Structure 1
Amino acid sequence: MTAATTTTPVATATTAPAKGGAASRLAARAGGGAVRVFLVLAALFWLLPTLGLLLSSFLSPTDLNAAGWWQAFTAPARLTAANYANLLSNETITGSLLSTVAITVPATLLVLVLGALAGYAFAWLEFPGRDWLFLVVVGLLVVPVQVALIPVSELFGAVGLFETTAGVVLFHVAFGLPFAVFLLRNFFAEIPRELLEAARLDGAGELRLFARVVLPLGGPAIASLGIFQFLWVWNDMLVALVFADSAHPPVTVALQQQVRQFGNNIDVLAPGAFLSMAVPLVVFFAFQRQFVSGVMAGAVK
């Protein structure tokens, strides 16, 4: 008796080649290249007014009125630095730059310090009415600046802060703090609780914990907030026009006054406007890495 041996055929699974693999890769590469070209063109188009202002600041008023700023490419010999010499000799513009620095730096530093302290308190300290108070801070985000101009003007006039640098700084700090507290509180709340408890077990108090643990971890968010606050205060014109000292106005108001008094004073307006624009650009690019880190950290969390 012979045992019948049955063999079971083994099915070999073969993976079918992906349809259109080469075509898909080619389309992806072409699409990526097209996106890069589009982004480069969009960036150049966005920078075109800045480039025009820069070249205009190096042209004399006669040449600029005759052929426009694009003649800098066809006749580069006409470029001159005399406009910047005129700018430096204009005491109104140079004094306004110092006034702008005197307003912007304190307003930015105060918002960063007070916002970081308040954000840490709302995130990790327990006190009565904390959540309700934070809701009030969030509600202040929707209050427009224009609503407060008249009542704050009356208040500053009563206490002697109207048309003073301190008044402008306080106004910017008051309207910058709600966003600062909201941003930093949400960022600090994502810090692991175990890390803070370990620091407390090691004997760290709240101030030391804030300085040694929370601030280093919140560096990207604080840098992003600092850039936003600096740009907002430096480029502000409405608050400065209402509250600043008319004898020593910030650069935005000083340039506006130059336009009103000397409409064709382009040899001062062009370099002054570019200089007022260049300072925020330098600040942004100097802290660009921290800004991107803060935005990405907030997006991930």
Structure 2
Amino acid sequence: MRAFITGVTGFAGSHLAEILLASGDEVLGSSHFGKWGFGVPAAVRQAVKLLSWDLSEGADDTVCRTVREFQPDAIYHLAAISIPSACGGDEPTPEALAINVQGTEGVIELCRTLGYRPRVLLVSSCYVYAPVSPASPFVTENSRVDPQRAYGKTKLMSEVLFQRAIYDGHLDGMVARSFQHAGRRQSPRMILPEWIRQFTMSADEPIRVVCLDTHLDLTDVRDICQAYRRLVVDGKAGTVYNVGSGVDRRSGDLLEIIQQVASTRREVIEMEPGFRQHPIADISRLVEHTGWKSLVPLEQTVRDTFEYWRARLSYEQGMDS
């Protein structure tokens, strides 16, 4: 299979490229700056042809020509501002609208120029759902959508554009509503790398966390990316799929796993104590249609993330010396 990935140099994009290449796929990718980040395997860097594409400006002639010549069987649209806090507060920033919404429109327009219909997967988010209660945290794809914050609003806008293009016959596509995932190369602004980075930067400083009683659905990024490929192969056109573990995890339990893997215990400073409930994925549809299941235990995700941050901090310290 020939696959085009937008946002290929990002956290999930680079893992998806790695998985597709291991499956025998040929990969073309795009990113805003056209550069790989730290820790991406050399084999991926060498095998993936990389395009520089600013999604906020639409697909220029070079992008359109390169993608047409490549003739992808599948397009994975991952490129986005994916750090929720970077998209604004209650309402999206102009940049978030330009990249997350207009960028999706640009991908749709690119697909319309190809002259045929590849399989297209739009990666959306669990944050399109309405708030959930502790008594009923699980959401199906038919649960009410009512995003409260900017990031979720941009993702829902993207879904509307995408589904309209499918309805109009322009796309053969599906939507993946992804829940939280973690692993190597993730931004330290996210929960797992943020905590692990603190452990690796100092041997005795207290660990600062926002909240120890946050409940969320957390999956290894490699399992998430395996689900993306399975959806492109086996998913039904026009269908929305939850992609997550289907397990309610407590942040305090995650911190306990981190301390066990680190073989050390630290003082913990909880800055905003309280209870927070994020949506938990009902993945019945994903499993029924694709046979997918999560394989990587959370303990392995934690170990791999520790390994990554030790290597990255060692590299950064070497650059500074």
Q: Which has the higher contact order (CA 8 A, sep 6+)?
A: 1
**Structure with a larger share of its residues in helix:** 1
**Structure with a larger share of its residues in strand:** 2
TM-score, normalization: structure 2? 0.21
TM-score, normalization: structure 1? 0.22
